[in-house]
Amino acid sequence: MDTTLFYRQNMIDHAKNPRNFGIIKDSDYKTVVINRHCGDEISLYLKISKNKIENIQFAGSGCAVAISSASMLTEYLNGKNVDLLKKLKREDVLKNFGVSLTPSREKCALLVFEGVKKLDEELISNN
């Protein structure tokens, strides 16, 4: 299978069937991020236990790129050490797509990254 086709199909799958979509009612941390250019809005919920990401979920609305990015990143982060939030880079998020995105689509893909960085800032300020 063509690599580009694989990544495109993966993105479509995550957009149509997002993983970790929902609200954590007893979350330890919550943040909202908005892409003012296109209207994407994502709320992120984080539950931590013993320095591990016990659960991270998102809710909101947005384009296929924003939703699939949130789905892929939350799927990756669940169960990991909270230190990963600090180490996460833009490139880590963008490589999930496996194809080049236009600058406007990069903003959509990186919306969840912005949210994760805000959660990390909250985590640091509370410790």
Domains, in order of start, for the chain: 3-125 (3.90.1010.10)
| Residue 3: pLDDT over 80 | no
For residue 1, pLDDT over 60 is answered with no
- Which residues 6+ apart lie within 8 Å of 85 measured at CB? 53, 77, 116, 117, 119, 120, 123
Residue 34 pLDDT: 98
Per the CB < 8 A criterion, the answer to whether 88 and 113 are in contact is: yes
**How far, in Å, are 29, 43, 82, 114 from residue 125 at the CA level?**
12, 19, 14, 17
Model-level pTM? 0.93
Helix %, strand %, coil % of the chain (to 5): 45, 20, 30
CA angle 9, 12, 18 (to 5 degrees): 130
Q: How far apart are CA 35 and CA 6, in angstroms?
A: 27
Q: pLDDT at residue 4 above 90?
A: no
Q: How confident is the model at residue 10 (pLDDT cuts 50, 70, 90)?
A: confident
**Which band of pLDDT confidence, cut at 50, 70 and 90, is reported for residue 62?**
very high
